[in-house]
Homo-oligomer: A and B are copies of this chain.
Amino acid sequence: MILLDGKALFQQIKINLSQEVHQLIKEKKRPPHLSAILVGGDPASQTYVNAKIKACHEIGFQSSVFKYPLDVTQDVLLLKIKEINQSEDIDGLLVQLPLPKHIDSNIVTHSISHQKDVDGFHPINMGRMVLGLNCFLPATPCGIISLLDEYKIETAGKRCLVIGRSHIVGTPISILMSRNKERGNATVTLAHSRTKNLDQLTREADIIIAALGVPNFLKSSMVKKDVVIIDVGIHRVPSEKTKSGYKLVGDVDFDDVSTKASYITPVPGGVGPMTIASLMQNTLYSAKKVIYSHT
């Protein structure tokens, strides 16, 4: 069994990106700049934003966080986004989700210019992905492809099962895995809550991407030998073995499934860091205008 070490690959990507920053500075250009909008004080959201800002610091990107109280109005957010969309000093913008219920998340996130949408959530980026055109790929699916690529995992002609059809992970990764690209060309099945006989599908799969959001769901009895496992889930569960009283687990029962898998992502340290890696790469692409030429 070989670990698909997202943390190590992220370190490598950070080194490459910081060299790109040095090159930009040598060319008398400013470093890439990522902005985040954070509403309210949810600890998980705070942690995610902090991790992204920390990565910016390590690479040498500029970063900024615009914090708003929970009762901020939608109009205030839309005005800020409009300002950032027009700013020549900011290359990428993300709004940390979830947003409070009085705010329409779709309206807010889709008001980010698709040219600065480094999360890859905007309909234009999603549609261009489906059509095989240059775009900002959604960060988590893009990170999964990079990880498969790093370990040269053959995907063409393989049976790939994606479990979970969310808009930001399951559905887009199913599209990316089946498109006609080197790390694609898989025969993809998209399973979800209405799927019957899921364990038959898991046993047929050469590659399983688990993104259903159920802790320790996938067991070794459900998979075939030498399966490749990508675990997108991350859950905090009580544990007597740790000082903190909890530990992080994924959608895959790692200890159990890793006995049968050829490759498997750990949780944490697998898909999570790769999501941030993609976000950083997208921010660089935006600064260098390689996806869209900002007009």
Interface residues of A (CB under 8 A from B): 106, 122-133, 156-157, 165, 167, 171-172, 174-175, 178-180, 185-192, 194-196, 201
Contacts and interface: CB of A to CB of B under 8 A. Distances in A.
A123 B132 contact: no
A127 B125 CA distance: 7
A189 to B, nearest CB: 4
B122 A127 contact: yes
A130 B167 contact: yes
Contacts of A195: 157, 187
A106 to B, nearest CB: 7
Given A122-B127, A127-B124, A128-B127, A201 B187 contact: yes
A189 B192 contact: no
B190 A178 contact: yes
Given A123-B131, A132-B167, A157-B196, 18 more contacts: A106-B131, A123-B127, A123-B130, A123-B133, A126-B131, A130-B130, A130-B175, A131-B167, A165-B179, A165-B180, A171-B175, A174-B190, A180-B192, A187-B190, A187-B191, A187-B194, A187-B201, A189-B189
B189 A185 contact: no
> Chain A at the B interface: mostly helix, strand, loop or mixed?
mixed
Q: How many copies does the complex hold?
A: 2
Contacts of A192: 178, 180, 185, 187
Given A157-B194, A192-B187, A130 B179 contact: no
Contacts of A131: 106, 123, 126, 167
Query: Which of the listed residues A128, A132, A156, A195 has the most CB atoms from chain B within 10 Å of its own CB?
Result: A195
Nearest to A130: B126
A129 B171 CA distance: 11
Contacts of A130: 123, 126-127, 130, 167, 171-172, 175
A42 B193 CA distance: 47
A140 B256 CA distance: 45
Contacts of A174: 190
Contacts of A191: 187
A171 B171 CA distance: 11
A196 B194 CA distance: 26
Nearest to A196: B157
